Amino acid sequence: MGRVAYVNGRFVPHAEAAVHIEDRGYQLADAVYEVWALFDGKMGDAEGHFARLERSLAELRIPMPMSRRALTIVLRETVRRNRVREGLLYLQISRGVAPRDHAFPGAETPPSIVITCKAVDRSAAQAKAEKGCAVITVPENRWGRCDIKTVGLLPNVLAKQAARERGAVEAWFVDELGLVTEGASSNAWILDSDGVLRTRDTNANILRGVTRRTLMDVIAETGLKVEERPFTAEEALHAREAFITGAGSLVTPITAIDGKPVGDGAVGEVALRLRSLYIERAKATAV
């Protein structure tokens, strides 16, 4: 059996899976999404992603289309039908299909649900992490509600493409004060020159990363010091280490920013250790 997607109540071959042309996610980016990392076929950080999904929907006044319990069953069934063990599970919920009009359609319009699942080569990802990756910086140009995980990702798309064209894996947005907000699809961290782990606070206009949150708990058990305090790109260059976190990148060391080495340019030992500890935790708690 090939890849299968879930679309509005039906499992369909991935190649034929489609939504209506007047789906508001397609026409207006009026939709939210979540991504779970899969470990041995189970959802990592399940609770955190569900909580954020419910919050994103509530902020946009899109009703949760089914209970969390029912949604979990459908998500799991998508994973099962795709026979994915290590991978990524994607869920998108839009405000539904209605004649194009910026204002909300009638309350009777059911939200649209799409779920896809794909395998990830975790040993290749591990090898990449152990080599270290590069980021570039780009000016922050996103809207003021980056805490909501919407599919309106055009600035992120352009930033990521710029990174790709310059041989980097990620782009860090830098705000008007010169402070790093986050990556195009990850949160940004440093181990500063004083040995303190730092990442942007969630009062800032960033996505409240689920991986970021769990890693905070993991760090608390290591005895390392962590502060939710912003840093500039310059500080990151003078830091001991830098890394990114997210359901896709897990914890990935960053060794260069805009073509310049972070610290001595070596792959961060602390970042690699946190990567192992995070994966261990995510595997142990996956459901």
- Where along the sequence are the contacts to ligand PDD (CB under 6 A)? 35, 182, 185-187, 207, 209-212, 245-248
User: What type of residue is 45?
Assistant: D
* Known active-site residue 149: yes
Residue pair 165/195 in contact (Cβ under 8 Å)? The answer is no
**Could you tell me which of 204, 198, 129 has the C-alpha nearest to residue 170?**
129
Q: Would you say 187 or 252 has its CB closer to ligand PDD?
A: 187
Could you tell me if 136 and 163 are in contact, meaning their C-beta atoms sit under 8 angstroms apart?
Answer: yes
Closer CB to ligand PDD, residue 94 or residue 211?
Answer: 211
Q: How far is the CB of 259 from ligand PDD (least distance, A)?
A: 23
CB 239 → ligand PDD: shortest distance, Å?
A: 19
Listed residue (283, 285, 248) closest to 88, CA to CA: 248
By beta-carbon proximity to ligand PDD, the closer residue of 100 and 229 is 229
**Minimum distance from CB of 14 to ligand PDD (Å)?**
18
Smallest distance from the beta carbon of 108 to ligand PDD, in angstroms? 31
Which of residues 112 and 186 has its CB atom nearest to ligand PDD in the complex? 186
Minimal distance, residue 245 CB to ligand PDD, in Å:
6
Q: How far apart are CA 6 and CA 184, in angstroms?
A: 26
Closest approach, Cβ 67 to ligand PDD, in A, equals 22
The residue among 82 and 245 lying less far from ligand PDD, judged by its C-beta, is 245
Closest CB to ligand PDD among 82 and 187?
187
Which DSSP string corresponds to the chain?
A: ---EEEETTEEEEGGG----TTBHHHHH--EEEEEEEEETTEETTHHHHHHHHHHHHHHHTPPPSS-HHHHHHHHHHHHHHHT-SSEEEEEEEES-B-SS-SS---TTPPPEEEEEEEE--HHHHHHHHHH-EEEEEEE----S-TTS-BS--HHHHHHHHHHHHTT-SEEEEE-TTSBEEEESSSEEEEE-TTS-EEE--TTSSS---HHHHHHHHHHHTTT--EEE---BHHHHHTSSEEEEEETTTEEEEEEEETTEESTTSSPPHHHHHHHHHHHHHHHHH--
The catalytic residue among 118, 131, 149, 283 is 149
The residues annotated as belonging to the active site are 149
